[in-house]
Chain A
Amino acid sequence: MGVAIATGAYAISFGAIALAGGLNVWQTMALSLLMFTGASQFGLIAVIAGGGAPLAGAATAIMLGARNALYGLRLAEILRVSGLRRLGAAQLVIDESTAMSIGRDTDRAARLGFYATGLGVFTLWNIGTLVGAVGASWLSDPRALGLDAAAPAAFLALLAPRLRGRELWALALVAAVVAVLAVPLVPVGVPVLLAGLVGVIAGLIPRKRAPSHPHEPNETGEPDDQPTRDPS
């Protein structure tokens, strides 16, 4: 129930922010039906709203969706799907369905958690998007309502639960500074991709264990791929 309300609210804000960013209702609905992964959808509309190239928006969305591939790795053993079922199940691989699936006692419960959450979130996400998009399409000037500030606030709510440990805070800060400094120098949309490059480089540096702080296990900044429930 909590997940349902959170999903609906998150979807309504997505629909409204997409319209405020210049997309029409059809484009907004296409994203929720076909892309169906919240952070990526927000990333794409953010780049387009800022006047960036749509392909830069697509690249941002794809990088934000990379974690879903790792969720799929874990889910493959639980779901054991092939053929058409796999093509369908793949679309439901998101933060919420993974969180509700892994760590269950039996495979049966894990599968139920995956499909029930995936289909439930899919339904609510699309209804919410439609409500938000149609509602915002009636507004004459979304900027007067401050809707252009709603997107960064949404990103902040998505980012906060991921900032576990000092290294991740530092990395986020570096990424933000790199992106802002790049704004006057490169085409719109590229600053965010440069920040993505910062993340790739940071990920390629082998982690040093810090045995001098054995009592601070959360401060090593070692990221994991635990799903973070998108709307916390």
Chain B
Amino acid sequence: MTTWIGIAVGCLGCYLLKLAGLSVPKSVLERPAVHRIAALLPVVLLAALIAVQTFSDGRSLVIDARAAGLAVAAVAVWRRWPFLVVVALAAVTTALVRQVIPGS
């Protein structure tokens, strides 16, 4: 149930942001700081999500098979391979490492 609340709040917030752009007078959002923050937020949030999702189990820091998956994904991104290839390689690498090192 609480998951549904999170989904509803997130969906409403994201929609209102889209609508606000089409609706508010240009001067309200047309400030350099607003533009900088909107451009920087995806960078900091994505970087944080990558780090937390790879190197923690939510409550403590761990290094496990996911780190190997991320390393392979980094090479694939650097080589500009397609999105699905990047994601699939990370998953396959992680699964293989778990086969070799159980519990990782």
A positions within 8 Å CB-CB of B: 6, 9-10, 12-13, 23, 27, 30-31, 34-37, 39-40, 42-44, 46, 48, 50-55, 57-58, 60-73, 75-76, 79, 81, 86-87, 89-91, 93, 143-160, 162-163, 168, 171-180, 183-184, 188, 191-192, 194-196, 198-200, 202-204, 206-207, 223-225, 231-232
A206 CA to B42 CA in the complex, in Å? Answer: 19
Which residue from A69, A176, A184, A199 sits with its C-beta under 8 Å from B17?
A: A69
Contact present for B21 and A46 (CB under 8 Å): no
Contact present for B48 and A191 (CB under 8 Å): yes
Q: Which residues of A contact B69 (CB under 8 A)?
A: 146, 149-150, 152-153
Contact present for B87 and A157 (CB under 8 Å): yes
Q: Which residues of A contact B29 (CB under 8 A)?
A: 69-70, 73
Q: Which residues of B contact A144 (CB under 8 A)?
A: 95, 98
With A72-B20, A156-B86, A199-B40 known as contacts, the answer to whether A149 contacts B65 (CB < 8 A) is yes
With A35-B10, A149-B65 known as contacts, the answer to whether A159 contacts B87 (CB < 8 A) is no
Contact present for B90 and A231 (CB under 8 Å): no
Q: Which residues of A contact B34 (CB under 8 A)?
A: 70
A61 CA to B18 CA in the complex, in Å? Answer: 13
Which residue from A48, A196, A225 sits with its C-beta under 8 Å from B6?
A: A48
Main secondary structure on A side of the interface with B: helix
B positions within 8 Å CB-CB of A: 2-7, 9-11, 13-15, 17-24, 26, 29-30, 32-56, 58-61, 65-66, 69-70, 73-74, 76-78, 80, 82-84, 86-96, 98
Q: Which residues of A contact B78 (CB under 8 A)?
A: 160
Q: Which residues of A contact B74 (CB under 8 A)?
A: 156
Contact present for B37 and A13 (CB under 8 Å): no
A152 CA to B20 CA in the complex, in Å? Answer: 30
Q: Give the nearest-CB partner of A2 in chain B.
A: B82
Q: Which residues of B contact A48 (CB under 8 A)?
A: 3, 6
Q: Give the nearest-CB partner of B28 in chain A.
A: A73
Q: Which residues of B contact A31 (CB under 8 A)?
A: 7, 10-11
A231 CA to B85 CA in the complex, in Å? Answer: 11
With A58-B10, A146-B93, A192-B49 known as contacts, the answer to whether A153 contacts B38 (CB < 8 A) is no
What 10 A-B pairs are tightest by C-beta distance, nearest first?
A: A72-B21, A54-B6, A146-B94, A195-B48, A153-B90, A203-B37, A149-B69, A223-B39, A199-B44, A179-B48
A55 CA to B4 CA in the complex, in Å? Answer: 10
With A27-B4, A35-B10 known as contacts, the answer to whether A199 contacts B43 (CB < 8 A) is yes
Q: Separation in Å of the B80 CB from the closest CB of chain A? A: 7
A174 CA to B94 CA in the complex, in Å? Answer: 26
